[in-house]
Amino acid sequence: QQPVQSPQAVILREGEDAVINCSSSKALYSVHWYRQKHGEAPVFLMILLKGGEQKGHEKISASFNEKKQQSSLYLTASQLSYSGTYFCGKEGGGATNKLIFGTGTLLAVQP
């Protein structure tokens, strides 16, 4: 039931773009995206609640295809500060809003 992310890891030079994908084998009703730097707490980036929704946060944006049970995170003109591990999360159902996190994508941005 854990969403699968691809790629597992990506190395970029500053200014390059990247796409991180998140796929679920079961229905995906909403997607949360987090970034976690080493030794730090996961930091919320955005949540997508509807199929077809797209959102942006600085130069980071995301799309959500409910039909395909997929979401993608787009990082444009990457900066050193974008380095970290990115997790998507799906809500586990019920009233708790607990998150089931994806497998993670390690992003390293080099000067």
Q: Which residues bind to other proteins, rule: CB under 8 A?
A: 2, 30, 32, 34, 40-44, 47, 49, 87, 89, 91-92, 94-104
Q: Which residue type occupies 5? A: Q
Q: Which residues contact 1 (CB under 8 A, 6 or more apart)?
A: 24, 25, 26, 100
Whole-number Å distance between alpha carbons of 35 and 39: 12
> What is the nearest approach in angstroms of other proteins to the Cβ of residue 77?
26
> What is the nearest approach in angstroms of other proteins to the Cβ of residue 36?
9
Complex with other proteins: residue 52 or 92, whichever CB lies closer? 92
Q: Helix count (H) and strand count (E) of the chain?
A: 0, 11
Complex with other proteins: residue 15 or 56, whichever CB lies closer? 56
